[in-house]
């Protein structure tokens, strides 16, 4: 069993338990459930921003501990002040060290869009995302059927959530992109967790030229690569490990944003 297969099997079990402990009707009574979501796609299109989606990730299955004892309140505010366009919050506990409270905390102290980063395998998780304060969810094409993608994206849209569809190959690109707001290319191979930024440049040639916002994920860190990715048609850049491996992730984010702003002027 690969790491990805193990994670998906665990998610299915975990979600079944959550559904019993916290029924959907209770989720729908959350204070966040009916608050209008902030548009991730809208923020990534803003000309005054540089498209950085700054991630809070304590650890990963491949790299182990990155930054275990961060304050979500301080770091999320720091990322915002640094000029990030959006936040990405890992809510998986077993493999990434996050939790739902991390996202709710980030939502409470920030006005930018917040992406819930997790392995969605059940509609329950989408309703849960809305209840904890997320503005957008991640759907991973490599672990879902095209029918599941359509169903999950439709449900998310009906709840006011935007959808990031993540692909790793041209074969994973679905026939239609209805209810898909952001198309992400993951430079990390989820089978062995290796990264190769060339993946984004290769897939840029087959991605839809207009409409959906395009982002590159994983393995990013230097301004030069991001500038080239912008030229290739990407509008957003999800960065986690590069920031989280430093003692002050928000300062690393600020330094990168400044370089990208200078390159624009």
Q: Specify whether the CB–CB gap between 59 and 241 falls below 8 A.
A: no
Coil, helix or strand for 105? helix
Q: Specify whether the CB–CB gap between 220 and 198 falls below 8 A.
A: no
Half-sphere exposure of 50 (CA within 13 A, CB side): 25
Active site residues: 55, 57, 117, 166, 186, 217-218
Sign of CA dihedral 154, 158, 159, 161: positive
What does the longest C-alpha to C-alpha distance in the chain come to?
Answer: 54
Q: Specify whether the CB–CB gap between 172 and 148 falls below 8 A.
A: no
């Amino acid at each position: 069993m690969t790491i990805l297969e193990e994670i998906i099997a665990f998610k299915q079990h975990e979600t079944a338990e959550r559904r019993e402990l916290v029924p959907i009707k209770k989720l729908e009574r959350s204070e966040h459930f009916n608050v209008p979501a902030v548009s991730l796609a809208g923020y990534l299109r803003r000309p005054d921003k540089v498209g950085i989606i700054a991630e809070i990730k304590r650890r990963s299955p491949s790299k182990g501990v990155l930054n275990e004892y961060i304050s979500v309140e301080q770091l999320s505010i720091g990322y915002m002040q640094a000029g990030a366009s959006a936040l990405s919050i890992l809510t998986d506990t077993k493999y990434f060290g996050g939790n739902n409270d991390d996202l709710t905390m980030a939502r409470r102290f920030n006005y930018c869009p917040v992406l819930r980063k997790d392995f969605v395998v059940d509609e329950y998780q989408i309703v849960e995302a809305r209840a904890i304060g997320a503005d957008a969810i991640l759907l991973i094409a490599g672990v879902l059927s095209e029918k599941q993608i359509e169903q999950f994206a439709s449900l998310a849209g009906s709840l006011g959530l935007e959808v990031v569809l993540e692909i790793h190959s041209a074969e994973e690109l679905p026939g239609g992109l209805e209810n898909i707001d952001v198309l992400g290319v993951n430079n990390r191979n989820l089978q062995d967790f290796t990264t190769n930024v060339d993946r984004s440049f290769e897939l840029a040639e087959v991605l839809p030229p207009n409409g959906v916002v395009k982002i590159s994920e994983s393995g990013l860190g230097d301004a030069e690569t991001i500038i080239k990715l912008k030229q290739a048609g990407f509008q957003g850049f999800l960065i986690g490990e590069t920031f989280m491996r430093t003692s002050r992730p928000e300062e690393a984010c600020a330094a990168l944003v400044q370089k990208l702003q200078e390159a624009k002027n």
